[in-house]
Amino acid sequence: MKFFSMFTGIGGFEYGVRKTKGDRWKCIGYSEIDKFAVQVFNRHFPGIKNYGDATKIDPMGIPDFDLLCGGFPCQAFSVAGRRMGFEDTRGTLFFEVARIVKVKRPRYVFLENVKGLLNHDNGRTMLTILATLDELGYDVEWEVLNSRYFGVPQNRERVFIIGHLRGTSGQKIFPIGTGGGETSGMEREDIAYCIDANYYKGNTNVDKCQRTVVTAAITTENAHMFGKNVTRKQVTDIENLTGNVRRLTPVECERLQAFPDNWTSIGVDDNGDEVKMSDTQRYKMLGNSVTTNVIEEIVKRIKDD
């Protein structure tokens, strides 16, 4: 199986594939414009061509492939659902996916997005995406999956979309449900809030957001809060008790996304030299990535032939 990756980031889809399929699946190219993410990707997946800006890709310049995957950014669909179909996606990054699929016609399309996609523009955005894929010749299925049910203590809900090229054989992927079952031994308050690209901004200075923080010093008074999800008021309460509250480390965030430790610590530039990543960049990249255990579980259900 050959696949092409779009909006690739640090290689969450690719790592999930590697864990499941090993060398049986081959990434023939990817598309990513963030230079730090590219450097991390190149460290772990050397020798794969980056086609760069998705809006500038010539589909005819890409080798044939069997599957297109990607977590496309959900830009505003200004006319989504008004006319329906392929034309309604122009001006959005989903259009770049559709544009390449229209030419290359891979057997599978495998997409990921935030759960909010389902009610964006009163559901018309999702309806447009489904109608577009249908118009391009794909039978579509989708499901919302939460990372907390796939071996990591993170409450991360994402919608996953699978398109099957009409006329080709292929078993149904969804529903998967809770996968391997709820994270063993964890209470609800032990499950981390969703790690996002803004997590690096800190604990108490992020308005209208909840953050998972850890008390760096454990006392009798605050032991019940250690490693818990807390609100802004609770952060203040802990600070009053200990004066020492910290956010999750980049390595802890890597574990919440089911990457190996230090996956994002070092990148490789165009000259082949190693580049150390700042914590700020690591938080951003991990917040924008996918939980690789979920990718692994989905990919297990896609036939190799």
Please give the positions annotated as active site.
Answer: 74
| Separation of alpha carbons 97 and 111, rounded Å | 9
Provide the CB-side half-sphere exposure for 230 (13 A, CA).
24
Entry field: residues in the chain: 305
Which residues does 272 contact at the CB level (< 8 Å), separation at least 6? none
Main-chain dihedrals φ then ψ at residue 65, nearest 5 degrees: -145, 165
Is residue 12 within 8 Å of residue 78, measured between CB atoms?
A: no
Listed residue (259, 277, 252, 269) closest to 15, CA to CA = 259
Helix (H, G, I), strand (E, B) or coil at 101: helix
Is residue 257 within 8 Å of residue 286, measured between CB atoms?
A: yes
